[in-house]
Amino acid sequence: MSRLGSIGGRLYRGDVSFDFVGRRRLWYTISGLILLVAVVALGARGLNFSVDFKGGSVLQFTDHQATITQVRSAVTRAGGGPDAIVQTVGSGAKSSWRVQTGTLSNTQLFKVQDGLGRAFGLTNSQISTSSIGPTWGSQITDKALQALIAFLVVIVIYLSIAFEWRMAAAAFVALIHDIVIATGIYALAGFEVSPATVIGLLTILGYSLYDTVVVFDKVRENTAGLLGSSRSTYSQAANLALNQTLVRSINTSVIALLPVAGILFVGAGLLGAGELKDLALVLFVGMLSGTYSSIFIATPVLAQLKERDPQFKALAKRVALREAGGRAGKRAAAKTTGKPGTKTAAAATAVAVDEAPAGPDAPGDDFDAEDEAAAVPAGRAAPRGTPGPGARPGPRQQPRRPGSAKRRPSGKKKRR
């Protein structure tokens, strides 16, 4: 745990950084392949809707000695149709048979119930029956679609007001990504879609959106006042925000997936709770997809939309020029290091000489304009009485006073 906390601190400070935004083409390719498989599965296999959506009749009974072939034959002989869906619910001593047929009249339903009773030695009270008409199923389907559309519209409006339209568009893309992947996995695996599945789908969309909004809030904090400087581009600032919230996203996802996995594998697998299994399954699939989209899809899409803005294009050019200038200066400094004969080294030496402090022979404050005119412009100060041109060059030339301009003792005035 301490190591994980250390990694989180280094990610937050920017000491370690994963380039999620810069590698967005890789993430787009991976998501595109997954979406392609999901769409093909939806088109080829379709969704396995439960009786609550398409209507029909359901019979359920318990017989641990029966086989799926025997149950299907008994239903077909009793008039339940050859397309009846026969499956076991639960496991062990709590297992039971569940038979789903098309819409049957009351007479047909009672006939199938009697046929199962005679085949397996059961009374009618030991075989439960229920029927849902096609009208009720279509109403459930319409209500589910209306709820999904209303959810998406409200979310886009809220994000546009709370943040901006680009963030709303990026979050919308991530949500559609999660919906298609979740439904594609259901179609590919043949899982049954029940009303509990729809409830779970809306739940995981809210979870995915929550994770995305947390990241976007950090992005907004990091990009405040970014246009007034040249320290980083929008993509770099967004990538930093994504790294700063990465550990939090992983921790939240793991903590949320643990109880859902417990419900799915323990509650549904061992206890045989059908509706609970439907709810836990869509939650498990959707949370994995939502975590992936909030990290690899939402923020890269947002950065790509923002980089199309002319202001952020100009910012990216300024940052590129600044980085190019810094790299060129470092290369030039590396080339001239250790070469005293170069012009750069000579210039540095001259600057160091010019900035050296004056020696003890420097003139005092009473040095007048005439003395300045008689000063030798270069070379070391010659001894008194020695002509200026013969002076030996040195690090700094001190002014030479002519013989008639000797300094007078302080306090004595010139006689007239």
Residues 315-338 have pLDDT tens digits of 888 888 887 776 665 666 566 665
| 200-206: average pLDDT | 82
- The HSE-up count of residue 413 (CA atoms within 13 Å, CB side) is 2
pLDDT tens-digit readout, 205-237: 888 888 888 899 999 998 888 888 778 889 999
Q: What are phi and psi of 98, to 5 degrees?
A: -125, 120
* Residues with Cβ within 8 Å of residue 28, at least 6 apart in sequence: 300
Q: Are strands 56-61 and 96-101 parallel, antiparallel or unpaired?
A: antiparallel
pLDDT tens-digit readout, 27-55: 999 999 999 999 999 999 888 887 777 77
DSSP state of 98: E
Average per-residue pLDDT for the chain: 76
